[in-house]
Amino acid sequence: MTKDTQKKTVLDKGFVEVIDKLGSDLTVVNSARVSFGQKKQEFTERDRVLVRYLAENKHYSPFRHIIVQFHVKAPEFVMRQWYKHVVGIETSSSYPAKDHAWNEISGRYVPVSDFYTPDKWRAQSSDNKQASEGQVENQDEAKKVFDNVMNEILKSYDNLLELGVAKEQARVILPLNQFTEVYWTASFQAVMNFIDLRDHTHAQWEIREYAKVIKEFMFELFPETTKIWFEVQNK
């Protein structure tokens, strides 16, 4: 993972970038203090106490006033896991209470050009059916199998496009390591839930890499709130 201010690279060709954000550390405390008709301009020790109280007692609604919009480039198999985070989505209308919002590049318009190449081939875990542990012994052979099939697929995809086949149909032969790009907009609480589940030993290594970067961004954007949130969760 490399890093600059607003864009961090993840895996071989992916990235996470913050496009926009609504709120700051003061947003949570001011949202809570509106109950008393009060508003603060500066984050103080009393605010730390209040944020901790809210997190400890599951008064989560003030945390939903912070919103972040990310631009993510990730392999399709990672996004399939990420897309499972849907709370608050209301798909049948433009109902304003939806929490996550998703928009994605379309392989019907844009030919797929980037594919994830694993650095190491991990071995199947012996005690967890969905996990990996260590590496397979014959890395070279695994890489050869991967390279052969990728060459064949990329050649065939190009052939179909050259034959004039529509991009929406030619893409049906592409594998899950194709990179896709999305805009993901979610509240502080929803992002914390994502980190909780995906920066976790049970999660697949690749999505963990993304969750770690999202966590770094949250610490940079909302240092006080994020620090207290994790202190409370990890108690």
Ligand X SMILES: Cc1cc2nc3c(=O)[nH]c(=O)nc-3n(C[C@H](O)[C@H](O)[C@H](O)COP(=O)(O)OP(=O)(O)OC[C@H]3O[C@@H](n4cnc5c(N)ncnc54)[C@H](O)[C@@H]3O)c2cc1C
Q: What does the binding site for ligand X look like in residue numbers (CB under 6 A)?
A: 84-87, 190, 193, 197, 202-203
For ligand X, the closer of residues 56 and 137 by Cβ is: 56
For ligand X, the closer of residues 3 and 200 by Cβ is: 200
The residue number whose beta carbon is nearest to ligand X equals 87
For ligand X, the closer of residues 87 and 173 by Cβ is: 87
Q: Give residue 227's Cα distance to chain centre.
A: 19
Taking the complex as a whole, how short is the minimal distance between the CB of residue 52 and ligand X, in angstroms? 20
In degrees rounded to 5, what are phi and psi of residue 222? Answer: -135, 70
Q: What is the rounded CA–CA span in Å between residue 38 and residue 19?
A: 30
CA 213-105-16 angle, 5° bins: 10
For ligand X, the closer of residues 108 and 202 by Cβ is: 202
Torsion (CA) 41, 45, 50, 53 in degrees, nearest 10: 160
Taking the complex as a whole, how short is the minimal distance between the CB of residue 70 and ligand X, in angstroms? 14
Taking the complex as a whole, how short is the minimal distance between the CB of residue 190 and ligand X, in angstroms? 5
Taking the complex as a whole, how short is the minimal distance between the CB of residue 37 and ligand X, in angstroms? 30
Q: What is the rounded CA–CA span in Å between residue 188 and residue 170?
A: 38
Taking the complex as a whole, how short is the minimal distance between the CB of residue 213 and ligand X, in angstroms? 17
Q: Which of 69, 66, 24 is nearest to 47 (CA)?
A: 24
For ligand X, the closer of residues 10 and 211 by Cβ is: 211
Just list the catalytic residues: 198
Q: Which of 188, 182, 181, 228 is nearest to 21 (CA)?
A: 188
Full DSSP string of 70-88: EEEEEEHHHHHHHTT--TT
H or E stretch at 144? helix 139-162
